[in-house]
A and B are shown apart, each in its own frame.
Chain A
Amino acid sequence: MDERPRPDIRAVVRPAAGALVAGVVVAVAGCGAAASPDPAATSPGPAATVTGEVFVSAAASLADAFAEIEVAFEHRHPDVDVVRNLAGSATLREQVLEGAPTDVVALANAQTMAALEDAGLTDGPAVTFATNTVTIAVPAANPGGVTGLADFARDDLLIGLCIEGVPCGDLARQVLDAAGVVARIDTNEPDVRALLARIAADEVDAGITYVTDVASADGAVVGIEIPSADAIVADLPIATLADAPNPAGAEAFKAFVLGEDGQAIMARHGFGAP
């Protein structure tokens, strides 16, 4: 009775272990193939030398602009596949700090990037590639009759901001402070796109988003300029990472964004020049 089970287990475990080992080998080989740097592409050279996957982590406010940049970049470098990872700048920062493999990081303000620079995770200092300002955003019909920042103190309106710690949220609070308005906030959205969606759906009466977000909403959202906002401008930094899986691809992408084509796309989406 005791003898019988043992041969059965061996019969099961051996093939299973074999499959497991084989699987690991394949995975490692695959990763290795993707990660191995191409010795010929040490600098942003001609298009043909850049290949593989380029993993780009971009702040939520860059969603539309970087979508267009991805298409243009892949057109320029047909052997490249750009993978976009969009989230709030703070989330992206935490991801990189925890070691998520990324080639390029483009954030919505400089302070968030500073954390990565200070940790030595970037390949050299970050470079500002665009600027952005905030604006009041209301649903197209403006049901709350919002005209300026003062309306944010009204109790009868539903007001939304981004959470603190996210560039959009910090900027909004700076602007409100500067105007001396105590806002009656009803919700703090995790990222600016979520806030934009709420405004576009007419679930809140007003919020503070980037100018570029209003532009991307295709008319569902209307912007109301903040006079004092001119002084509060966000610098958007971009950096390649020191342990990027595809350093050649990373450099090429960063160069593209900073180059003529990239800048034209950014401008088209409402961003300011660096």
Chain B
Amino acid sequence: MTSPTPLPTGRSRRRDVVQRPPAVFVVLAVAGLALFVVPLAGLLVRTPWSNLATLLATDVVTQALWLSLVSSLGATAISLVVGLPLAWLLARVEFPGRRLVRGIVMLPLVLPPVVGGAALLFALGRRGLVGGPLERATGLVVPFTTWGVVIASTFVAMPFLVITVEGALRNLDGRHEGAAATLGASRWTVMRRVTLPMIAPSLASGLVLTWARAFGEFGATVTFAGNLQGRTQTMPLAVFVALDGQRDAAVAMSLVMVIVSLVVLVALRGQWWPSR
């Protein structure tokens, strides 16, 4: 009497069958992942590891990194201050033309950043719609300043915050706010102690997305704010300029951007997506 090959225990076999995805999915997923991983690998291979430190210890790099961090954080802050009320209005208030307003807010997501930069020039440039009178009245010119970088970054990045927060507010179970009202909370108190804490995860991920977009912004910045080391030359601009002639430096700076971004994104691994 031969003993049959022992089957896997019932539990593990069942788990196997339920959790194994279709092979096609795995193939496609790996292809998708390759799209991200291969360029990164190319970057790492091209990195001049031997003199990385010298390449990075230059004024160009430190000033560009500083500008990138300052402008991206500034853009995020402004997006929060202005974008949160905007998202609130879009989610909670029925006003005429709401759909149009939402479309306009989404526009920077769809527009090529360079087009956005050009539009900013037409509005805030020296001869622009608003920039013109501004210059004549106060002598203030916005392009070619660090503020110009912040504005350009805010323009392209704020829609992320508005969309995320609006979505979160819409999905909120409004009954908790009703309960808070019956307990005597004023509208501000309800917002401060109930609504905002309840959308906090979505708000956080919205802020991260906004920051990430602002950090990597190039087209609108170079078109609107110009390119000057120490004043408007953010990391992406510095990399672009360095690509022609100082390729090693360009690669080194690209590596820095990748590392900074990875650190931020990985640090938020649990809170990346809003939890229910």
Q: Tell me if chains A and B make direct contact, with any CB pair below 8 A.
A: yes
> A residues within 8 Å of B by Cβ?
1-2, 5, 8-9, 12-13, 88, 90-91, 93-94, 158, 160, 163, 165-166, 185-190, 198, 201-204
Q: How far is the CA of A190 from the CA of B17 in the complex (A)?
A: 57
Q: How far is the CA of A187 from the CA of B117 in the complex (A)?
A: 15
Q: Do B228 and A94 have beta carbons less than 8 Å apart?
A: no
18 further A-B contacts with Cβ under 8 Å, apart from A9-B22, A190-B241, are A8-B22, A8-B24, A9-B23, A9-B24, A12-B24, A91-B244, A94-B244, A165-B246, A166-B244, A185-B228, A186-B226, A188-B227, A190-B227, A190-B240, A201-B121, A203-B121, A203-B126, A203-B127
- B117 shortest CB reach to chain A, Å: 11
Q: How far is the CA of A101 from the CA of B258 in the complex (A)?
A: 29
Q: Do B127 and A158 have beta carbons less than 8 Å apart?
A: no
| Max count, chain A CB within 10 A of own CB: residue among B24, B126, B141, B231 | B126
User: Is B252 on the interface with A (CB-CB < 8 A)?
Assistant: no
- The binding surface of chain A is classed by DSSP as mixed
Q: Do B226 and A160 have beta carbons less than 8 Å apart?
A: yes
Q: Do A201 and B144 have beta carbons less than 8 Å apart?
A: no
0 or 1 for each of B120-133: is its CB under 8 Å from A? (1 = yes): 01000111000000
Q: How far is the CA of A149 from the CA of B85 in the complex (A)?
A: 50
Contact status of A203 and B143, CB under 8 A, knowing A90-B244, A163-B241, A165-B244: yes
User: Is B140 on the interface with A (CB-CB < 8 A)?
Assistant: no
User: Is B68 on the interface with A (CB-CB < 8 A)?
Assistant: no
Q: Do B144 and A163 have beta carbons less than 8 Å apart?
A: no
By Cβ-Cβ distance, the 5 closest A-B pairs, closest first, are A187-B226, A90-B244, A186-B144, A165-B245, A9-B23
Q: Do A5 and B23 have beta carbons less than 8 Å apart?
A: yes
User: Which residues of chain B come closer than 8 Å to A88, judged between CB atoms?
Assistant: 244
- A182 shortest CB reach to chain B, Å: 15
Q: Do A1 and B143 have beta carbons less than 8 Å apart?
A: no
User: Which residues of chain B come closer than 8 Å to A201, judged between CB atoms?
Assistant: 121, 125, 127
29 interchain pairs, CB-CB under 8 A: A2-B17, A8-B22, A8-B24, A9-B23, A9-B24, A12-B24, A88-B244, A90-B244, A90-B245, A91-B244, A93-B244, A94-B243, A94-B245, A158-B126, A160-B226, A163-B227, A165-B245, A186-B226, A186-B228, A186-B231, A187-B228, A187-B232, A188-B226, A188-B227, A189-B226, A198-B226, A201-B125, A202-B126, A203-B121
Chain A residue, CB-CB nearest to B127: A202
- Tally of chain B residues near chain A (CB < 8 A): 25
User: Which residues of chain A come closer than 8 Å to B102, judged between CB atoms?
Assistant: none
Chain B residue, CB-CB nearest to A139: B127
Chain B residue, CB-CB nearest to A189: B227
- B221 shortest CB reach to chain A, Å: 11
- B39 shortest CB reach to chain A, Å: 14
| Max count, chain A CB within 10 A of own CB: residue among B144, B222, B228 | B144
Q: How far is the CA of A8 from the CA of B231 in the complex (A)?
A: 59
Q: Which of B144, B243, B244 lies in contact with A187, CB distance below 8 A?
A: B144
Interface positions, chain B 18-67, Cβ under 8 Å from A, are 22-24
Contact status of A158 and B244, CB under 8 A, knowing A201-B125, A202-B126: no
Contact status of A187 and B227, CB under 8 A, knowing A88-B244, A202-B127, A203-B143: yes
User: Which residues of chain B come closer than 8 Å to A158, judged between CB atoms?
Assistant: 126, 141, 144
Contact status of A203 and B125, CB under 8 A, knowing A160-B226, A190-B240: yes
Q: How far is the CA of A5 from the CA of B27 in the complex (A)?
A: 14
- A36 shortest CB reach to chain B, Å: 31
Q: How far is the CA of A165 from the CA of B141 in the complex (A)?
A: 28
User: Which residues of chain B come closer than 8 Å to A5, judged between CB atoms?
Assistant: 22-23
User: Which residues of chain B come closer than 8 Å to A163, judged between CB atoms?
Assistant: 227, 241
User: Which residues of chain A come closer than 8 Å to B231, judged between CB atoms?
Assistant: 186
User: Which residues of chain B come closer than 8 Å to A186, judged between CB atoms?
Assistant: 144, 226, 228, 231
- A92 shortest CB reach to chain B, Å: 9
User: Which residues of chain A come closer than 8 Å to B24, judged between CB atoms?
Assistant: 8-9, 12-13
User: Which residues of chain A come closer than 8 Å to B144, judged between CB atoms?
Assistant: 158, 186-187, 204
